[in-house]
Structure 1
């Protein structure tokens, strides 16, 4: 008795006993009918079977919501893929290489609803040195671009690249996409900036696969200016 007083049975003990004694309710079937729960959807008491049915309905509803979300994401991805394909086709058709940087900036703004887009290139051929996109860039910005192994997304903390935009004061979040003409570890020859006044548009937790594909297309298009 002293042992029982010093070591009282806990809820975990009861739960473990029932989990490890599956025939308990076969021997005490009357308990199944006697057990009552408070329904989370009302203040009335319900039986075990009704509570199980409620839990099952809640689980089914949760699964339905997840399926609908997957379908929605799938549809969004299909539309996004179509948009990228159309954009890639339009880049291939641009014959005026001097106009290429401006076309890219405008297309990204309109095709993907990005409020502000900026672009800088270095090491371009002499005939393209007069482009706005070929304006002088600091060595720090070049080193930073080359250090990016994937697009950077996050809040604007005073990046030099923000000054390349038309209205830097409104930028809250941004994506910085390095442009490379070769292997992923090769030095960058440019940097693409996507910016928004919405702090959640380009947040640090978002996936960057789509942005990386944009970077690959832009890199391929602009490598012809070198």
Structure 2
């Protein structure tokens, strides 16, 4: 009897021993992920699991899933606040630029002659855009040598007029040589055609010693509108001069 009792006792599985055929055998992490994606409300019916699940924390250690979610929400909130701040600042910049353009337009309308137009525009570009070097060259106009653009020099800017809009960043050295007498020391620049291919008034150029000041992907809203205002003001003064003659 004793032997039989021992055998029966040995046949019973140990209390803490896992069954040989576990239900979870053969289930991969992908299976679990797929199940949770198909059942997004799973944890609503198993809330205690949220307290025992542990996730690595960026600062080290481990936190519960709920704590990790709170951390992620805070990070998203900070990112949204930063993005909103950037949008607000950009809106303020645009408002300031719009005001500057408005003031420049009024100033150019009061300019007595072409020299005043050029001087006022250069001041605006230096003050509002912080340009270290500003050059305005006009073709076939009665201006001083500083602003004159010879016919032979005008052909240098054929690609710019064909482009029809401002060019930023690293621009061809021969263009800089014409506008600023030398490309030496210029790290980046903006060139703006004044007029179009059928009516080439001239070229507006801004340059900086820094290679990062004017980037190819930067906005050209302000300088484009200044170029348009300048070109139109030049036309008006030229027509006025011709009429007076």
TM-score, normalised via structure 1 length: 0.81
Pair 1:169-2:179 in alignment: no
For residues 39 and 112 of structure 2, the distance between their equivalents in structure 1, rounded to whole angstroms, comes to: 77
Count of aligned pairs: 212
Matching residue within 77, 81, 84 for 1:60? 77
CA distance in 1, matches of 2:119, 2:145: 9
Contact persistence 1:156–1:171 (CA under 8 A): no
- For residues 159-202 of structure 1, what are the alpha-carbon distances to aligned partners after superposition, in whole Å with 9 as ceiling and x for unaligned? 3244322664221111110111xxx6744321111111111111
| Matching of residue 191 in structure 1 with residue 203 in structure 2 | yes
CA distance in 1, matches of 2:32, 2:64: 20
* Alpha-carbon distance in 1 for matches of 2:29, 2:155: 62
Aligned pair partner of 1:132 in 134, 146, 154: 146
Given the alignment of the two structures, is residue 225 of structure 1 paired with residue 238 of structure 2, yes or no?
yes
Q: Deviations over 1:42-71 (max 9, x none)?
A: x33221111111111111111111111111
Instruction: Decide whether the 8 Å contact of 1:121 with 1:191 is kept in 2.
Output: yes
Return the alpha-carbon distance in structure 1 between the equivalents of residues 69 and 198 of structure 2. Answer: 59
Cα deviation for residue 14 of structure 1 reads: 2.7
Is residue 2:40 matched to residue 1:22?
yes
> In structure 1, the residue corresponding to 2:136 is in which secondary structure?
strand
| Higher relative contact order (Cα pairs below 8 Å, separated by 6+ residues) | 1
* TM-score of the superposed pair, with normalisation by structure 2: 0.76
Q: Give 1:179's aligned residue.
A: 194
Query: Over the residues paired in the alignment, what is the CA RMSD in angstroms?
Result: 2.4
* 1:143–1:187 CA distance, 2 compared to 1 (3 A): farther
CA contact (8 A) 2:140 2:150 kept: no
CA distance in 1 between counterparts of 2:65 and 2:39 reads 18
CA distance in 2 between counterparts of 1:9 and 1:120 reads: 75
Q: Say whether the 8 Å CA contact 2:138–2:148 is kept in structure 1.
A: yes
- Against the structure 1 CA distance between its residues 11 and 215, is the aligned structure 2 distance closer, same or farther, given a 3 Å change threshold? farther
Deviations 1:123-180 (A, max 9, x none): 33xxx25553223142522423421221000114413244322664221111110111
Deviation at 1:221, TM superposition (A): 1.2
The residue aligned with 1:150 is: 165
Q: 2:92 aligns with which of 62, 75, 80?
A: 75
Larger Rg: 2
Structure 2 equivalent of residue 213 of structure 1: 225
In the aligned structure 2, how far is the partner of 1:19 from the partner of 1:199?
49
